[in-house]
Structures are given as C-alpha cells and as structure tokens.
Amino acid sequence: MGAPDNIGPRRLVVGAHYGVKDFIAQRLTAIILATYTLVLLIGILVMPEFNYANWKALFTFHVFALPVGQILATLAFISLAWHAWIGVRDIWMDYVRAVSVRLLLHTLTILWLVGSVAYFAQILWSL
C-alpha cells in the first residue's frame, strides 16, 4: 500500500490556508497599529502636562471641524479587531480539529470582537 492520495477533491483540507489576502491584511493592520502607536507616543511626549484634559484631547482633536482624533482612533481599533480576528481564526483553524468546537470558537470570537468594537465606539464617540 502506498501513501494516501491527498491530491485533488479527496484531499483533507485543514488549517488556515487563506493565502496572500490575509497575509497582506495582517501586515497592513500591523502597520496602521504601529503608526497610531507612534502618533500617540509623540502626542504624549509633547503634552505639556499629563492630565485628563490633555489625554482626552489626544482622541478628540479636530481639523477643519473634522474629528480627526476620533477617526484615527476608530481606524486603529478596527485594525486591531481585524488583526486579532485573522490571528485567532488561524489558531482555531490550525489547532481545533472538531468542526463543531471550531465553529463555536469562531462564533464566540466574532461576537467578542464585534462587541468590543461597539463598546469602543460608544465610549470614544460620546466624548
């Protein structure tokens, strides 16, 4: 007997083999997060005094009546959620063999991430 035929329609597909799209998305979200982290660090360093009013100003500054601080923070948090989804989904795909458990974990992860983004948006945009 030879090795099992794992080629074509009868092959066993397991793991997170999503390819280039997710690789690029993971890198883009990492770049957005790194850039936003640098912006926050620079904002903290040039802050005259570290207090609540100045901290709040980091997230609520406007440019020509456009809430740039809130938009950048929202973009960074959505990038964080997307980055986390790709990474955690790949972990579930690679290490959880039972389909029902994997589906449950995917569902719980999505619910947690969507809930986190909604809670973040509620807090940030109510400032």
The low-confidence residues of the chain, meaning pLDDT below 50, are none
How many angstroms separate the CA atoms of 45 and 54, rounded?
A: 11
Looking at residue 76, its pLDDT comes to 97
Residue 18 has a pLDDT of: 57
Report domain extents, the chain. Answer: 20-126
Where is the binding site, in residues? 83, 95
* Contacts for 44 with CB less than 8 Å, ≥ 6 apart: 50, 58
How confident is the model at residue 21, as a pLDDT?
Answer: 87
Residue numbers belonging to the annotated binding site for heme: 83
Tens-place pLDDT, residues 3-23: 555 565 665 555 555 578 888
CATH number of 20-126: 1.20.1300.10
Q: Rounded to an integer, what distance in angstroms lies between the CA atom of residue 39 and that of residue 101?
A: 40
Annotated binding site for a ubiquinone: 95
Instruction: Return the pLDDT at 6.
Output: 58
